Amino acid sequence: MTEARQQLLSLQLQLQTRLEKVRTDLKRLTSADSQEQAQQRENDEVLQELEKHLSDELDLVAFALAREAAGQYWHCSACGDDIAKERLNAVPYTIHCQRCAL
């Protein structure tokens, strides 16, 4: 297994774990206290946004894994040049080299 694939799988597992925790928090019972319910609604909005962000990031990681399996991971999808290892370490699911990302 390549180092890139290991990094992506590790990130995928971390994101899945975080997403499961957020979804668990969203399922909890609401309080009967109206002041607590107002706070709960605010918390739920934050959790819903976090859930969407994590889900979107998981989709990006899945796409990066597919690109890695197809041998395209290291190549910019716009220009075909190599994507710098430092860039992939910083943003493992990027599909663009630094030049094309600008």
Q: What is the pLDDT of residue 41?
A: 76
Question: Is the pTM above the cut of 0.85?
Answer: no
Q: What is the DSSP string of 29-91?
A: PPPSSHHHHHHHHHHHHHHHHHHHHHHHHHHHHHHHHHHHHTT-TTB-TTT-PBPPHHHHHHS
Contacts of 89 (CB under 8 A, 6+ apart): 7
Each residue's pLDDT tens digit, 88-99: 999 999 999 999
Q: How far is 36 from 26, CA to CA, in rounded Å?
A: 15
Q: How far is 66 from 14, CA to CA, in rounded Å?
A: 18
Each residue's pLDDT tens digit, 13-24: 999 999 999 999
Amino acid at position 4, single letter: A
